[in-house]
Structure 1
Amino acid sequence: MRRAFLRLGSISLLCVLALAACHNKDKDQAAQSGGDTPVEAVQQSVTLLKTGDFAGFWKHALPPADYETLRTDWAKTPPDQPPLTDEDRAEFKEHIKELTEPGAEDKLFAAARPKLIEYQQQYSDQLPLMVGIFQGIARAGIEKSQDMSSTQKKQVSDVLDVLAPWAQQTPWFDQARAKQAIGIVVATARKLDLKSADDMRAMDFDTAMQKYSVGFLGLKELLNVYGLSVDAALDSVKVATVETGPNWARVKIDYTLQGKPITTESVLIQQDGRWYSEDLLRNVHDSHERLMAPPAAGTSAVEAATTPVEAPAKAEAKAPEPKSPKKG
């Protein structure tokens, strides 16, 4: 389930940039499942992510039964996950030592400095072209993805179109920024306090959510060093309901990323009087079904784990296709 969660997490984090504004809520409300309204459901999800509260995010973003399923699935090993080798364990231990030993910041920067000088001389002029090539590859991957809906693909593509120019203009080889970034990475690694590869795989859901929180907050700080503020993007969003139907609603989201305005939409569904993201629910259901599906006759465990499985339809978790708004 860990790989499924990482995939869901990466999708939802990218989509969150295109999904909501940040509004302060008290802790009691943050612990509730779903939102009172479609707009509030989206706003509260972003509030939790902005603070790095992943445990609270999943508890809020999923109906209670799906949340408990997610927690249960967390302890299950994916059929396609290879066992750890002694080489894996040794490599993990060495990387952790490099990042957390006394004086790690100075040692890592001393090793990075000559490379930064070399890369500045060799690649600074080629960087825009290299980023452009990566952008094309990423866009092709988005289009081929089976884990994202068409709405999610558009959201991620719009974000990519803004981030590519930012990446082309960012001074990645600047030594002062690199030293600051290394300090953030080292501080984050120490806070994570990972002991071994085996311990990392054996983490329970609550412990893993705490580690993800530390990593996410460190990542936001790291991006700030290079001029990308996730919080500023979240704070700029305005959400409005544009269409409703029986137990579903479509919301329009306007936000600014790196000074560029972006507009997107999201469909939410209502269950037991609470509102949830349709795309996120579908992704969670699909991942659970893939985890639980038995291998077909003559199919290896790895093949079965990587073959898409259609999740059973759930009437209460499926919104009808929204109609396009009439133009006046």
Structure 2
Amino acid sequence: MRFRPLRRTLLPLLAVLALAACHNKDEAAQVGGSTPEAAVQGSIDLLKAGDFNGLWKHALPPTDYATLRTDWGRHAANQPPVSAADKAKFDAAVQKLTGPDAETKLYAELQPKLDQMEQQYKDQLPVLVSVGDALLKNGVAQNQNLDSEQKAQANQLLDVLAPWAQQAPWFDQARAKQAVGVVVATARKLDLKSPDQLRTMDFDTAMTKYATGYAGLKQLLAIYGLSVDEALNSIKLSTLSSKDGRAVVKVDYTLLGKPLSAESTLVQQDGRWYSESLIDNVRDAHERLQQPAATGSVAAAP
């Protein structure tokens, strides 16, 4: 009898937690978010799952999502044809990555090169990474598509990634063997037959291929000590402002043990919240596609 008060306390609490879990799943499955934070959290959940089709559908208003799908095939029409030499290189690379016993053959080829590279570059690696870091930061500074806040966030991210890249065990044989296995497995799952297939791929197929590549990339980074999932799981959201159908959500997260933050701007349409930057990207790309071919401009997929 004495356990009834505890049971009366726990059961409602469990019910609330269950409802909250269902609510989070519903948010990720719906178009947009019921609140700015719910919209961002839904996108994060879809990114964790590697559901890129669902991510676009969730983060964009229905009309913009439809525009993205419609424009997808039109981008390939603006690309120059694949040369015979490039096609031959593609075929050779695919065969090397997916052929019989590819893991063993690739690692046997890589193993002596790793020893040579370690002797040649181990002491120089910190300097090379520093040079690359400086080049990337210069590129960020010159990028006219980023505002001052986005540039600051990008530089903070580079400040965390550069020390990791300098210290990561790139020449470790055991990790290299694991990495080769991941690359080969990913290439086989992608099942790419030709470079033309990449161009003519419909939207749904492309999103599936992206998910496969993303999963492989996460495994590779984890082998060398960078866990994307840990960073995504560490995210905490807070609304900085919300007024007149426009909101800014702060995204705090931890990467490689370092606290970082970013901001996401959302806009409200028909009672739901969507990513302002993704909307702008889709609409800008669509406008470029509408330009006459005589202008010489080539639209890039968002």
Question: What TM bracket, shorter-length normalisation?
Answer: 0.7 to 0.9
Identity %: 57
Aligned-residue Cα RMSD (Å) equals: 1.8
**Paired residue for 1:5?**
none
Residue 267 of structure 1 corresponds to 265
**Structure 1: tracts of 5 or more residues without a match:** 1-22, 308-328
Structure-2 residue corresponding to 1:84: 82
Measure the CA separation in 1 of the matches of 2:29 and 2:290: 28
Distance 2:54 2:299 in 1: 29
Give deviations 1:21-53, integer Å, cap 9, x for gaps: xx8867654331110100010011011111110
Q: For 1:234-245, list aligned pairs within 5 A.
A: 234-245=232-243
Q: Secondary structure at the match of 2:298?
A: helix
Displacement after TM superposition at 1:291 (Å): 2.1
**Residue 164 (structure 1) shift:** 0.4
Between the aligned partners of 2:136 and 2:104, the Cα distance in structure 1 is 34
Call closer, same or farther: CA 1:291–1:157 in 2, change over 3 Å.
farther
Residue in structure 1 matched with residue 112 of structure 2 by the alignment: 114
Deviation at 1:251, TM superposition (A): 1.6
How far apart, CA to CA, are the structure 2 residues paired with 1:207 and 1:235?
28
Which amino acid in structure 2 is aligned with residue 261 of structure 1? P
Give CA deviations for 1:88-147 in whole Å, capped at 9, x if unaligned: 211111111000011100100111111100010010001000000000000111122233
Matches within 5 A, 1:10-89: 29-77=27-75, 81-89=79-87
How many Å separate the matches in 1 of 2:39 and 2:111? 46
What is the CA–CA distance in structure 1 between the aligned matches of 2:71 and 2:245, rounded to whole Å? Answer: 28
Question: Distance in 2 between the 1:101 and 1:209 partners?
Answer: 25
Match among 198, 218, 231 for residue 233 of structure 1: 231
Shift of 1:153: 2.4
For residue 272 of structure 2, what is the amino acid of its counterpart?
A: R
Equivalent position of 1:144 in the other structure: 142
Tell me, in whole angstroms, the C-alpha distance in 2 between the residues paired with 1:156 and 1:58. Answer: 22
Q: Choose from 161, 165, 168 the match for 2:166.
A: 168
Distance in 2 (CA, whole Å) between partners of 1:71 and 1:101 is 34
Q: Is the 8 A contact 1:248 1:270 kept in 2?
A: yes
Mapped partners of 1:128, 1:178: distance in 2: 20
Residues of 1 paired with 2:187 and 2:22: CA distance? 29
Task: Please give the secondary structure, in 2, of the residue aligned with 1:244.
Answer: strand
Between stretches 44-53 and 146-155, larger displacement belongs to 146-155
Cα–Cα, structure 1 residues 28 and 256, in superposed 2: closer, same or farther, change >3 Å? closer
| Aligned residue number for residue 244 of structure 2 | 246
Q: Is the 8 A contact 1:99 1:186 kept in 2?
A: yes
CA contact (8 A) 1:55 1:206 kept: yes
Aligned amino acid, residue 216 of structure 1 = Y
Mapped pair 1:203 → 2:201? yes
In 2, Cα distance between equivalents of 1:181 and 1:231: 18
Measured after TM superposition, the shift of residue 261 of structure 1 is 0.7
Q: Aligned partners of 2:144, 2:298: CA distance in 1, in Å?
A: 14
Larger-Rg structure = 2
User: Where do 5+ consecutive residues of structure 2 fail to align?
Assistant: 1-20
